[in-house]
Amino acid sequence: MRLADDEITITLDQETIYLRPSLRAAFRLERRHDGFDKILKGIADGNVSIMADVIRESAYERSSLLDLLECITVLPLSIAVDRIAEPLIAHVLILAGIDSAAAEPQPDAERIPFAEYHTRLFRLATGWLGWPPTDAWNATPAEITEAYQGRRELLTAMFGSGKTDTDITNPDEETRRELNAIGNLDNFNV
């Protein structure tokens, strides 16, 4: 899970673009292009329209798409596309919620469409976490999932794990045998 270091920077000549993988950008791009796979393929194929769309949706206010496009016109197009393709692909993978630091994929994890994944993240942020919609849209998927995990830990610490006392205090067979060695627990009820 990447937190705080998920900003992608693209530099061409004098212009630097800062991309933030917000939930809003992820939701809009995935819907507009009918999937992240199509966005990734478009970037890999050098589709400047798709690249510009990703930049437009994800760029900070301090960045200027027009300045970047002006820098691109100075360079040969193939060089400019090559320079921005790799960071854009990394950015789109973060938008999709793909954690490059994850050691192993979770084979038993539920598989859901990206649109549903992003909708669930929005619900977690606004429902469970109580964030205003603006904050939810501006947060990254990693920020939302980590904040949700923190909320769950807080609620568990405050109210317990949800297990009943009998689940916690009834010994299993092996524990019962070990305790019987000390004294007879056959008539012992908790």
What is the pTM assigned to this prediction? 0.69
pLDDT of residue 131: 96
Residue 1 has pLDDT above 50, yes or no: no
Q: Is the dihedral of CA 59, 60, 65, 67 positive or negative?
A: negative
**Spans of all domains in the chain:** 8-95, 118-167
pLDDT tens, position by position, 61-96? 655 655 666 666 566 667 778 888 999 999 999 888
pLDDT tens, position by position, 11-66? 877 778 889 999 999 999 999 999 999 999 999 998 888 998 998 899 876 556 55
DSSP string for 115-145:
HHHHHHHHHIIIIIS---HHHHHHS-HHHHH
